[in-house]
């Protein structure tokens, strides 16, 4: 019996490689009048690559980020909704509301996040629920998860993964940028 060989990806997942793998044909254009510092909604596909070009790669969900109106105190809000399909048909649903500084990193000041799991019959798996509230106070981060509070060391250059989606859009397109940051 002939062995069936899988071809490994063998390099970082660049936009060019993702195009070769058939994930998209062209990037969608930005809407007319798009202002990265204004109000907008972007939806992203979540795709996993298990290291091979033609097997084990799947669409597993989406991430939707909405940038809302700023406040007079120099902040703006991000709302993030993410759904990820896990094994055994478990769906993880996350909703977060984040208040961010109007700085280069969209540094989070505080947020509320809820995480829920739903089983294959649409039934809640409540033992896996998590509710989180976080406040950044200078060099201290105070985290309350399911009514337990703890503190961790913060950073003056703190950002978070979803905040970076917002911050990158404001970088100059035609010139190289370097940002130093600590990701939460």
pLDDT at 2: 54
In tens digits, the chain (184 residues) has pLDDT values of 555 788 999 899 998 999 988 888 888 888 888 899 999 999 999 999 988 988 888 899 999 999 998 777 889 999 999 999 987 778 999 999 999 999 999 999 999 999 999 998 888 888 899 999 999 988 899 999 998 999 999 888 999 999 999 999 998 878 888 889 999 8
Q: Give the Cα separation of 136 and 171 in Å (integer).
A: 24
How far, in Å, are 1, 50, 101, 123, 127 from residue 155 at the CA level?
58, 34, 14, 40, 32
| Residues written for the chain | 184
Give which of 148, 144, 150, 64 is closest to 110, Cα–Cα.
Answer: 144
pLDDT at 61: 95
Q: Where are the domains of the chain?
A: 34-173
pLDDT at 1: 52
> In sequence order, what DSSP letters do the residues of 23-90 get, joined into one string?
S-SSPPPPPTT--TTS-EEEEEEEEE--SBSSSS-EEEEEEEEEE----TTSEEEEEEEEEEE-GGG-
Residue 81: strand pairing partners = 64, 95
């Amino acid at each position: 019996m002939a062995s069936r060989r899988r071809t490994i990806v063998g390099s970082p997942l660049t936009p060019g490689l993702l195009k070769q793998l058939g994930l998209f044909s062209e990037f969608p254009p930005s809407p007319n009048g798009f202002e990265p510092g204004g109000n907008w909604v972007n939806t992203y596909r979540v795709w996993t690559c298990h290291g091979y070009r033609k097997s084990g790669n799947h669409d597993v969900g989406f991430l939707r980020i909405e940038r809302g109106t700023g406040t007079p105190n120099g902040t703006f809000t991000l709302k993030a909704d993410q759904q990820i399909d896990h094994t055994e048909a478990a769906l993880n649903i996350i909703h977060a509301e984040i208040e961010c500084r109007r700085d280069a990193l969209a540094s989070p000041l505080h947020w509320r996040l809820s995480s829920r799991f739903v089983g294959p019959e649409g039934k809640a798996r409540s033992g896996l629920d998590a509710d989180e509230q976080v406040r950044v106070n200078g060099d201290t981060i105070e985290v309350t998860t399911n009514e337990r509070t703890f503190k961790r060391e913060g950073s003056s250059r703190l950002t978070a993964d979803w905040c970076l989606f917002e911050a990158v859009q404001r970088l100059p397109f035609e010139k190289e940028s370097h940002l130093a940051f600590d990701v939460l």
